[in-house]
Amino acid sequence: MMKAMTSSRIRFLMPGRYSREQREPAESPRGQLVVVSCRSGAPLACQVVGDYERLLREGGVTRPVSHLEGIDFKFSDGETCVRLTADVSGHDAFLFQSLYDPASGRSVDENYVAFLIAARALREWGANYVTGVLPYLAYARQDKPTQFEREPTTAELMADLSIEAGIDRLVVWDPHTGRIHGFYGSVPVDGLSSLSMFAEVYKRFQGRDDVIAVAPDAGVSKFVMHFARALDVGCAVASKHRPRPEEAEVSEILGSFQGKRIAVVLDDMINTGGTVEATVIKLVEEKGIEEVYLGVSHNLCAPRALEGLSRLHARYHLREVIVTDSVPQTDTFRALPFLSVRSLSGFLCRVINRIHYNRSVDGIFAQVMGSQEN
């Protein structure tokens, strides 16, 4: 079977119009669309289905989108099983899973196994295509062994397992590293960047001389540099080292802070929040920053991070935190008055539409993100 292949690369959300031609209800050569979700991926998948049906109505079509919801379950001995509740033969399947799901308590490993078994089930029962939709790609941080330690490249192992299970395309939001694309070989990986989303979120600061964008570590410095250029503001990067696993110390923040009173700190992920906390404290205590705004692609909802963000808000001028629902957010984080969640639903809906009709996902406009706030 011939597959529609594209090169693996980062996809940037670019401003533009979403044309009527891209909403045409013509049959796709890939087969009938079906959205499939494991239990942890079901909440986001349900939102995407609703947005897709609204997209169809804009094009004059009222048919529902097929959704096989929550197809995984556990036997009494702890084994995971997947059971498809409808025929998928000849379908174009988009398989949703939240690999990290603090809202449910299911482990990363449990969710990953469910995803792999679901992909195999779709393949064995005749789906034409299986596109995995994993907004947060777990194990991506294990893309190389820790220096001087005997560790495997676990991110590559997970890619091998996913391909063997049957996926032929992968959609992820802000992957931790570009090395991920190489691990999947000829399987296209749409690694969707949040650059334009954050440029839209913080466009009120555009061109201001008193604003500086800050990278909490070198790993995100290039991203923050592009963000700073897009908004025409200053840029700085923190120098960080880890004395112990999951602990961070910031020795210096490199950049010109003359006349700067507002800092926009951007990071791809918050786990314990130690890096962000150390960076914000140094910005306030040593650089004289009066207001801090934090944007994060993936918030893992750790209790320690909740305490740290609350402390920064109370004592260190943290005014606002923007996160996405790439990871299902817990009620305790959603209750923070200074935190808001931007849903990826409307954007993923359009990504699926483009893939389903064999169109490039480039050019999907960032403005859709601005209206997806919970």
Report the catalytic residues.
Answer: 240
23, 58 Cβ separation under 8 angstroms: yes
55, 349 Cβ separation under 8 angstroms: yes
190, 351 Cβ separation under 8 angstroms: yes
Measured CA to CA in angstroms, residue 160 lies from 82, 167, 185, 186, 293 at distances of 20, 10, 9, 12, 38
CA separation for the pair 86, 328 (Å, rounded): 27
* CB-neighbour burial class of residue 244 (10 A; exposed 0-12, middle 13-18, buried 19+): exposed
Return the beta strands (E) in the chain as ranges: 9-12, 32-37, 66-69, 72-74, 80-82, 91-96, 129-134, 169-173, 189-193, 211-215, 234-241, 249-254, 262-270, 291-299, 318-324, 339-342
197, 369 Cβ separation under 8 angstroms: yes
Measured CA to CA in angstroms, residue 330 lies from 34, 105, 335 at distances of 28, 10, 9
